Structure 1
Amino acid sequence: MTLRRKKLPKPVVSTTNNKTIRKKKTHQFSQALISKFHVLNKEKEKLKQQSQTAEVIERLTAIDKEMEHMGGLDAYQKASLLGQDKRRGGDSSKWFIKQLLSLKKPIEFENDINYSETYSLLDVGAVSGTNYSKEGKWIKAKAIDLNPQDSLVEKADFFEYPIPTEKYQILCLSLVINFVGDTKKRGIMIARANEFLVKNGLLFIVLPNPCVNNSRYCTDEHFKKILDYLGFSLVTSHVSRKLVYYLFRKIKDVNIKKIQKSKPKFPKVLLNDGVSRNNFCVVI
């Protein structure tokens, strides 16, 4: 009789190689850097609105040093660029392009003296200048950012950017509003977007999911009401695990100077209490 050797179970080993681990750690580091930068930026904006006492100035200096130690805005942008990597499912413009292809151009665009076969688009806070390069035949895009990481992106501050004579048909604010530390400036940013768009122009907004689904001061419905007040009507929206996508259409002009001088229509008001919630808010 032939004795059969009993097969020993194969040892359990990790199939994750060092390269995969390095990529994961790099991504985790980038996410941590982005999160920390947001926290510091918000604190900085709040302190700038306070009386500039010695204590406040000291804290502002400390924040600047900490941001500089992290690599400053340049490091933040590089981390954001990593987050937009196709392998990580980034680049929010993909969803927007799908929606745009399903929409029919408004008749106002056809009658516009500036109308052409292409859409004019302003991409604010663009990490990359090639987000719409594949659609170059029918989208004429211009990208701006405070600290460009791409030669195709113009260095500019949207709050100071001149309103063009020939207004845009599309304006994109993808993961930009949440970066603004001042809650009032967030509202002004959306109001300014109205001034940059033609009638029936499209406003594409992307926010981190927790901004409207886990905030004490902002909900999805509340955010839509703010946009309605600022002259926009919702076309469609989409919610993913990490992000919320909105596509609005401009239905009326707004007087931004009048809005700035008047009492806030949407002040900072507690909507959802809870210790685990964040403080994202838009005031206008």
Structure 2
Amino acid sequence: MNETDKAWLAALIDGEGSIGIGHQVHLVENQKRSTFFPYISISNLNRPILEKAKELFQSGCITEAKGVYTFITKKQQSIYKVLKDIKPYLIIKKDHANLLLEYLEFNMINFGAPQGETHKEYYIKMRKLNLKRGQKLKLPKFYLQKQTRGLWISKEELERLYLQEELSLREIAQKLNVSKVSVWRALKRFNIKTRPKSKDTRSKSTYRAWTKEEDEFLRNNYTKMTDREIAQALNRTISSVFGRRWVLGLRK
């Protein structure tokens, strides 16, 4: 997307668009569950304008009702990329964009985790931003899942702790009151290169017993990840991971 397209799309969203977080309720195993999702929508009488917007987003669909066309996209990756590109040109919707980018980054770090109170808080903040003058906030009933504690930290802060202060995964986890796995996932999500193994692994002469949390992580991921990746995530040696798999009867 060139600078002209970025400025054009930002102006279109400022004037005719909406940046938000949606909420739906689904039945999962006969239980109601709240689902939150990001979206950007634009309404206009001119379909070609929305066709161009769709082309720039590389996602979404266009619908028509009573002569008014509406473009909407809910694809997180394209929303994140486009908002990053057009944010400098936004005026009216800049606060909305900043909040949605923060929400999307939280989702990236906690990918796969149940949606819970944090998602609800972002949803309410966005609803407040989108209120019209004199309009009162009316919230739906939420059906939240039990949410495991995740890691919320900026890339800059994580780089400072890991690369500049050279804290280990365990030390960062203790500092932030999260698991080492959460720290490792954040490193991967932000594409922060891990340090040489000698700086981040335990001494070979020191034995550290496997915890229930580590065993559970191994059971859940040994078919999805290599022993090397698991070793990095758990701050262990590859041979330790291999040996533990055999003890637990986890064969690839």
TM-score in same-fold range (> 0.5): no
- Comparing both structures, which one devotes a greater share of its residues to helix? 2
Q: TM-score, normalised by structure 1?
A: 0.28
Q: TM-score, normalised by structure 2?
A: 0.30
